[in-house]
Chain A
Amino acid sequence: MEMLLEALASLMTFESLITVLVGVSAGLLIGSLPGLTATMALAVLLPFTFSMPPLQGLIALGAVYMGSIYGGAFTAILINTPGTPSSIATTFDGYPMARQGRAFEALAGATIASVIGGLVGVAFLLLLAPPLARWAVAFGPAEMFWVAMLGLTLVASLSSGSLLKGLLGGCVGMLLSTVGVSPVGGETRFTFGFPPLQGGIELIVALIGLFVIPELLTMAAEGKGALPQGDEFGKGEMRISRVARRVLGKPVNLIRSCLIGQIIAIIPGAGGNVTSLVAYNEARRFSRDPDSFGKGNLDGVVASESSNNVMVAGSMIPLLTLGIPGAPPDAIILGVLLLHGLRPGLDLFTETGVLTNGFILSMGLAALMLLPVGLLGAKLIYRVVIKTPYYFMVPFIAMVTMLGTFALRNSLLDVGIMLVLGTVGYFLRLIGIQAAPIVLGLILGGIAEEGYVQTMLAAVVDPIPWLRLVSNPLSKVLAGLVVLGAGTALLPMWLERSGRLRKASSGEEEKP
């Protein structure tokens, strides 16, 4: 307790506060630009932190991390483009809301949800780090395989309309994930003798291609911007206090999304890319009105944004206690800790407790600052988006995304892949195959493959190797959840179909 107060005192200096403010603002800006991810924001900041004292460096990194994960929501809502992979699910309802002229409601809802999520993550980290860390290491290769499978069952619910088209999208994504050097074994696959393809298809590249380019092509084809030329921002029927009441009026959704965010955040390797998707899916599953999701339901935005901001502090649990990065940006924070001679472990909470607690509390402060900074930023960006005619907007976004794609790995090939995927994605969208299942397949294909092959390798001495996949209690539970998840998604559809078939004429039944 004494340590906490001391940490709080070290935080209440002018420098620390300014660092948080600047960090959150910079992170927000970077996160809102498609192609510039939280990981990249931290990597760019890294050299600057060398010259700072350890606490200030960590505060800056934490603030930028928090800001950039939140910033992804802006573009997700306003131009249907997740600024970071963790805000994919925000597009599902945020963008329809914006199209209906409810952009402010969506942005304000996302902001409030992010603040709450960020604070919840900090609370978990502060109070429950050691017991939760033990849970993190329970996820071995077999468990990771099932986690990936569980994620893939989301395809069924993400593909509104046709299950077949959703599955097709998922398969395309999994196929894309096999390009390059295989995760286990090191063979090169599908490079067609072209060495640069050894790098594979980067998730962000596919994300930008599949989400942004089709959107731009649609805008250009329709010859108008996607958002209605609405009234003055925030002056409409919804004020911030009303949005806040709406968000807080559904505590179950918030609590569920935060818990999901926390659980997934401590599973090493799954990371924030899937948290928001899972939280969104569960929000829909438990909703009284699941059909309104995807058509502009604020609950969807809240679920996605609260869960992904829990992840920021939540994924620090395995990092600070065991040195296991829970999400990609955490690897950079681990590097900084080691550079300052801080070894992850319980010492971090005792011997250097003031520093560690200061860092944790600063993330809470960063979450709080999202509120003013975010609402102000939202106002500015909204004005720009709404005032700019589409014929300036489309080329401008195209240029930013290309620069962002290039900067990711300094690769022109990536820009090419992005454009090809975007064009293909446009036509796939026309025939009803959405981007989300493809991206999900791409994220999870590699995780599933790695988990499966590692399990099989370890089981080489077993008489029936594949039994190793369900040998632990946890893997049994996860496997059960996969069956359950697939069942609840498929059963209603199957019942509906067989019911309809019974009603249909016998002549139709003879057709295959």
Chain B
Amino acid sequence: MKSRLSTLAVAVSAFALFGAAGAVQADYPERDITYVIPFDPGGESDVTARFQEPILEEILGVGVNVTHRPGGGGAVAWSEFQNSAEPDGYEIIGVNIPHIIGQPIQRSDAGFETDDWEIITFFHSTPNALIVPEDSPFETLDDLVEYARENPEAVTLGGSGTYSANHLGALRLEREADIDVTYIPFSGTGPLPAALEGGHVSGIFNYTMLGVQMEDNARVLAVASEERVPALPDAPTFKEQGYDIVGGAYRGVAAPTGTPPEVIEVLEEAFAEANREITEKQEPLGFVMEYITGEEVDEVIGTLREAYGPILEAAD
């Protein structure tokens, strides 16, 4: 509560200060920065931000206030941010792929656009992973594909959300392998272990993190990354098994359009340093650390938009 109230106070005083301060100055940052997380506390985005917070504060020399603005799978915070955040570097927001690509295509009133901000960096990714229960008849990805080819729609794959990274991954598997499976969306990652353990789905299409978490009672058939992830050395990639599927969720942070490049640079370096310091904690959980900045950001978004766009538009 205290942190929320102080955030409020900071936001109010920041607003009051803004008129006096005018254009952004060379010695950024001079006051506290608000870091909005568009999801509930306790999720991957929140936990990461909590890790980053003290390191960012140390590097930048000012307070970094993490606040939550959940709703609509992120859309509520993103539309508010694009409409009202000041481009002075004191308001930044967590951004996630594919959410920021998918929602504007899928919803007519998402309220935000994929490109209407300056993405500072994507600091990590969580590749998709295809996970089946320990007692599943599918020993390998090929087993599953073969069965699905003979029994269209009979294989049920649970995942987090609709047109999410998981869903899009499952759809790409359908295309690549020319099979027909039934994707069942759940509200978040939370209910998925129960669905798998209880045998309510044949498998789940989720992230590598869950594969690590369920190592003892589940099997990871394939991981959607370029190379095997360090936390799951025994799990093969889709690529190794002949399917060109690379994807998952990317998490990053953005500032409003028009934020001066010097400010972006300062933040970019701070986040990169934070990333280096928390690698040791995050990698064992199944995260893949990334340092995507500048033009690479557009490249990543462009590639994934090309991969996902047709699927999304076909579904619309």
Contact = CB atoms under 8 A, between A and B. Distances in A.
Given A188-B109, A195-B76, A198-B76, A318 B194 contact: yes
A341 B76 contact: no
A461 B213 contact: no
Contact of A199 (B70, B191, B194, B198): B70
Contacts of B259: none
Nearest to A403: B5
A138 B197 CA distance: 9
A43 B194 contact: no
Interface string B274-303: 000000010011000000000000000000
Contacts of B111: 195-196, 198
B72 interface: yes
Given A140-B195, A184-B185, A198-B75, A40 B1 contact: yes
A481 interface: no
Interface string A29-49: 010000010011111101100
A121 interface: no
A141 interface: yes
Nearest to A344: B213
A461 B153 contact: yes
Interface string A111-142: 00000000000000000000000001111110
B31 interface: no
Given A186-B185, A196-B79, A47 B72 contact: no
A27 B7 CA distance: 21
A454 B160 CA distance: 12
B175 interface: no
B1 A30 contact: yes
B213 A338 contact: yes
Most buried by B among A41, A195, A323: A195
Nearest to B76: A199
Nearest to A414: B71
A30 B4 CA distance: 13
A410 B93 CA distance: 14
Contacts of A185: 162, 185
A454 B2 CA distance: 40
Nearest to B111: A195
A458 B216 CA distance: 26
Interface string A304-346: 0000000000000010001111000001101100110101111
Say which size band chain A's interface belongs to. 35 or more
A336 B212 CA distance: 16
A460 B182 contact: yes
Nearest to A140: B200
A454 B214 contact: no
Contacts, number: 172
A430 B228 CA distance: 64
B163 A331 contact: no
A137 B153 contact: no
B309 interface: no
Interface string A472-493: 0000000000000000000000
Contact of B214 (A180, A196, A323, A347): A323
B53 A47 contact: yes
Interface string A180-209: 110111111001011110111000000000
B109 A191 contact: yes
Contact of B73 (A39, A181, A347, A457): A181
B9 interface: no
A381 interface: no
B163 A186 contact: yes
Nearest to A49: B50
Contacts of B69: 409-411
B110 interface: yes
B79 A195 contact: yes
Contacts of B4: 44, 407, 410
Contacts of B193: 322-324
Nearest to A29: B1
5 contacts: A141-B184, A183-B185, A188-B109, A331-B42, A335-B43
Q: Which 7 A-B residue pairs are closest in the complex by CB-CB distance?
A: A199-B71, A195-B111, A198-B72, A186-B162, A140-B200, A137-B198, A43-B41
